[in-house]
Amino acid sequence: MKRLTASLALLALSIGSALAAPTLRPAAFDNARLSRIDRIALRSMPAVDVAKLRAEDLKRGRNEAPRFATSLPVDMNTLNSGTWEDLDADHAVWRTRIESKNALTLNFHFDQFKLPAGARMLIYPADQTPGSNASRVRSFTAADNNAFNELWTPVVIGDEAVIEVVVPRAKVGELKLHLAGVQHDYKGLGRLAREAALEQATGVSGSCNIDVVCPEGNAHRDVIRSVAAYSKQGTMWCTGSLVNNTANDKKMYFLTANHCGMTTAAIAASMVVYWNYQNSTCRAPGSSSSGANGDGSLSQSQTGAVVRATNAASDFTLLELNTAANPAHNLFWAGWDRRDQNFSGATAIHHPNVAEKRISHSTTATQISGYNGASGSTHLHVFWQANGGVTEPGSSGSPVYSPEKRVLGQLHGGPSSCSATGADRSDYYGRIFTSWTGGGSAATRLSNWLDPSGTGAQFIDGIDSSGTPTNTPPVANFSSTASGLTVSFTDSSTDSDGSIASRSWN
């Protein structure tokens, strides 16, 4: 709550994963006794018909989660595949190679995954060398074990990868590892993958979109850090956002769209979230560079989530990510506003078409409506500026913010595109207002999770990774006039990111 206290001359203001495992070096880099990589058993996956996949993609609806990979079943474990070797007197190492010809990236689904204490697993490109970028190596420890005893991994660049497990000899019997699926990326998730395929136009967003590092993002530096891209079952892609709750306890609540499909325990467990995936420079909107590959990194990631609430009426899903925030990622939990009203404008932050993070602004008042122009009040209709960004497939689930930088809802869909004009340059967002009560139960509404103690708050501000709520103080502006023994006071105080809750006088 925000309060103003005034004396005649003096005014006073008051404002009402375990962490991701570190990157490690492949064991062979520091142990010459181990076999060379090319002597480790190789499992080759069946050929992928990319032309058929692309033809299927053309038939997918604009508001469906875009697909970037296809899943290939496999049956591999530490007994029927790979090679065991002695690493030292106390540790053993198991390695295997997997190839899916012409894949731009690979990611993996272990339907049995349990690392004993002191063990670690690395997944890295087969061409990794001591001089290669260490961020290409994905690393996991016992801290990544979960209640589902499974693991979905972030992507690894290239069409051949090495899976390596180092385990204390005394605990080899505790290791559980079964690889059930290999996901073959045929579109190019990330710049390195797309450039390797020399497909500059595949997987990148429209040139009218605006990088979040551009000046248009200056007023939103905090909430930009709340938005992330994520994959589902290693093959599809959407956007979502960390959101704060009234306890200000940095629970890993992540809001996205119901239609993205993150609605069951099994699918939520497959979630891989990519933080701070954005271009390092501002590419001029409308330029060829803005429509080409960016230089964003996919190195900051975490896996797994559980479903807390979901409802199709306002197209929302609230997840809780399995692991706490990594301080190195410098995340932000966005505030929200559940009031039943329109707003003078809005801002969207999103990942269009499997590409780096973008920002879009609207200076037109929002309109309460049903989805896609239908009657009702479940959605906000947002109209984008003629010379600004829009949204695209892959932006689904991304947040739209009020002028006070509070989440008003998440993207359901709409006709917008860089070529759209007039009313078609717009989108529909499922409203926090509607989702608050949802379907009337904890599993179908937001209220139980975002206001756990039942404060009844209509809106709250965001909170930084430092734990400090980002509430801009109100500006006190009182004046007085005297006529004899009568004194009249005028209050012209303002609050740039909310409303003044109360005033107290002395």
Active-site choice (144, 185, 211, 315): 315
Question: Locate tokens 């509070």: which residue?
Answer: 406
Question: Does position 21 have pLDDT exceeding 50, yes or no?
Answer: no
> Does the pLDDT value for residue 470 go beyond 60?
no
Is residue 427 a contact partner of residue 416, using CB atoms and an 8 Å limit?
yes
**Given pLDDT bands bounded at 50, 70 and 90, which one contains residue 275?**
very high
Active site residue 396: yes
State the CB neighbour count (10 A cutoff) for residue 89: 6
pLDDT of residue 16: 31
Distance CA 122, CA 67 (A): 26
Only one residue has tokens 């984008």, namely: 384
Most confident of 199-203, 262-266, 295-299, 500-504: 262-266
For residues 20-26, give the mean pLDDT: 63
Residue type at position 260? C
Catalytic residue chosen out of the listed positions 100, 396, 416, 435? 396
Closest to 309 (Cα-Cα) out of 155, 436, 404, 471: 436
Any catalytic annotation for residue 30? no
7-21, 57-71, 250-264, 476-490: which is most confident: 250-264
**66 pLDDT more than 90:** no
- Per-residue confidence (pLDDT) for residue 20, from 0 to 100: 39
- DSSP H helices, 430-487, are 432-437, 447-450
Residue 148 sits at φ, ψ, to 5 deg, of: -85, -10
Question: How many residues are given for the chain?
Answer: 506
Residue 7 has pLDDT above 90, yes or no: no
CA gap 62, 246 in Å, rounded: 35
Q: What is the mean pLDDT of residues 100-106?
A: 95
> What per-residue confidence (pLDDT) applies to 219?
96
Catalytic residue among 91, 220, 259, 361: 259
Alpha-carbon distance 277 to 439, whole Å?
34
Residue 235, token pair as written in the block: 């093959």
Angle at the Cα of 170 from the Cα atoms of 167 and 172, rounded to 5 degrees: 50
Q: Which two tokens stand for residue 144?
A: 């990544």
Q: What is the pLDDT of residue 3?
A: 38
Beta strands in 174-315 (DSSP E): 176-185, 210-211, 227-232, 236-242, 253-257, 272-275, 301-303, 305-311
Of 208, 204, 207, which Cα lies nearest the Cα of 188?
204
Q: Is 218 exposed, middle or buried (0-12, 13-18, 19+ CB in 10 A)?
A: exposed
Q: What is the pLDDT of residue 201?
A: 40
Does 445 score more than 90 pLDDT?
A: yes
DSSP-assigned letters across all residues of 322-340: SSPPPGGG--EEBEEE--S
What mean pLDDT do residues 146-175 have?
Answer: 95
pTM listed for this prediction: 0.85
CA distance 349 to 179: 35
43: left (phi over 0), alpha (psi -120 to 50) or beta: beta
d(CA 386, CA 135): 39
Mean pLDDT across the chain: 89
Q: Hey, how many other C-beta atoms are within 10 angstroms of the C-beta on 341? A: 11
Point out which residues pair with 84 in neighbouring strands. 94
Give the pLDDT score at 64: 78
- The answer to whether residue 12 scores a pLDDT higher than 50 is no
Tokens of 96: 């295997």
Q: What is the pLDDT of residue 467?
A: 66
Q: How far apart are CA 156 and CA 124, in angstroms?
A: 6
CB 205 within 8 A of CB 278: no
The answer to whether residues 70 and 48 touch, using CB atoms and an 8 Å cutoff, is yes
Sign of CA dihedral 380, 386, 392, 397: negative
Sorted by sequence, the CB contacts under 8 Å of residue 192 that are 6+ apart come out as: 157
In the chain, the N- to C-terminal Cα span, in Å, equals 19
Phi/psi for 92 (5° steps) reads -120, 155
| Assigned token pair, 46 | 């069946």
Q: How far apart are CA 256 and CA 397, in angstroms?
A: 4
pLDDT interval class at 469 (50, 70, 90): low
> pLDDT tens for residues 290-348?
988 889 999 999 999 999 999 999 999 999 999 999 999 999 999 999 999 999 999 99
pLDDT at position 480? 80
DSSP at 27: G
Q: What is the pLDDT of residues 229-254, one digit of tens each?
A: 999 999 999 999 999 999 999 999 99
pLDDT at 17 over 50: no
Can you give the pLDDT at residue 2? 38
**pLDDT for res 506:** 57
Q: Would you say 5 and 461 are in contact if contact means Cβ atoms under 8 Å apart?
A: no
pLDDT digits (tens, 9 = 90+) for 361-409: 999 999 999 999 899 999 999 999 998 899 999 999 999 999 999 999 9
**Cα–Cα distance between 235 and 212 in angstroms, integer?**
25
Cα 345-350-353 angle, rounded to 5 deg: 130
